[in-house]
Structure 1
Amino acid sequence: MSKYKRVLLKLSGEALMGNDTYGINTEVLNTYALQVKEVVDQGVEVGIVIGGGNIFRGLSGVSKGFDRVKGDQMGMLATVINSLALQSTIESVGGKAKVFTATKMEPVGELYSKAKVLEAFRQGYAAIIAGGTGNPFFTTDTASALRGVEIEAEALLKGTRVDGIYTADPEKDPKATKYNTITFDQAYEQRLKVMDLTAFTMCSENNLPIVVFDMNTPGNLKKIVFGENIGTLVKK
């Protein structure tokens, strides 16, 4: 029996690159799609928010002369591209997925609403929620926290290329140790970069636990939803 019945899965755009320097690595995408299908087939309701940093990041555009609002809008469109790629791949491995967008983009995806996502869950679809919050100056971390709270997810699962939260960057500090569990207050006081502060605060205030884990290891998503202690759990 699964520990979580409904989750919001946040995927990093950069993680979609795999070992490439840009774009979407099809092997990584296929691994993600299979993992999502695996848990949906077990009856878990999965909402998904994907970043767009593998294609375009708004803040990086500002440094190159783009207006911040336009740069963020370009970043939102990048998340739609990633979402469509994941939808297509989930379907190609025999799963079901729908794309919902924060702003009107039919026929690319349906305009997001909580009611539409819950109906998609009832029909056995993974719900991929694209376009960030629909507003500039907000990250996809914040979008994932917002959507997680809106759809009443039991946990926000942040799938990354690392296996949890450490006392320091494990790639730079060999003495860095991993947390299995940490409170929101501890993470804030120690200035651990779990998510951006807006997203982190939203999760904390709405008692939405965060699990940071390595999504690039096949099977990890299923292990988490069925209660295995992998990654790092951030809770009240």
Structure 2
Amino acid sequence: MKKIILPALLAVTLLAAPVLADTPAARTTTASSKAADKTYKLQQQLSKLGWVGKKVTGQHNGSVEFKEGSVLVRGNQIVGGMFTVDMNTLKVEDIKDAETNGKLMGHLRSDDFFSIDKNPTSTFKITKVTPIKADAAGNNATITGDLTIKGITNPVTFPAKVGVKGGLASASGTANIDRTKFDIKYGSKSFFESIGDKAIMDEFAMSFNVIAKAEPAGNASAKAAK
């Protein structure tokens, strides 16, 4: 009887070996060798947003501030991010006369433009970062993401200079945004052909300089435990 049982046990062990070798526990080394995603916190005081809007007879420029944000980093590459902009911080910087500045600001806050009382924030979510050969401006990536203004979301794509070094992630560049896709049609020649020299260009430029910082391991672990 023992002569039958022992060979049988040996056969079962040998047959089970390949199955055990392919279990998740056996693949831990391979899986853990892949770089884990890390979240870097936006540094609001160091990060800037600027805008330029053009019309037939000239242009205006100003700024707006981030409310909060984060950048997702894998290894030494930016792979994602989420940002919220406080539209109540919108400013016009080229008009120095207080009364004229106030009139333009009131118009920009109205439903003709950003409807700020109804939509106090705008957001941008990075969905893809594609490395490219650096151009003359130093842009080394193409960023694609979902931009939400006035509660309307559209995909946008633009070049940027990105990098991760010494616990800091950075991205800078300029995105050209078609305002009409966000129901901002005031003064657009695309919708009002007879507007003449009062026309405002459909696209406005949004320049950005984003700095995000990796949190100390202790802080990240504490947040994960909550």
TM-score bucket of the superposed structures, by smaller chain: under 0.3
Higher helix share: 1
Whichever of the two has the greater Rg, that structure is 2
Q: Which has the higher contact order (CA 8 A, sep 6+)?
A: 1
Please report the TM-score for the alignment, with normalisation by the length of structure 1: 0.25
Higher strand share: 2
Please report the TM-score for the alignment, with normalisation by the length of structure 2: 0.25
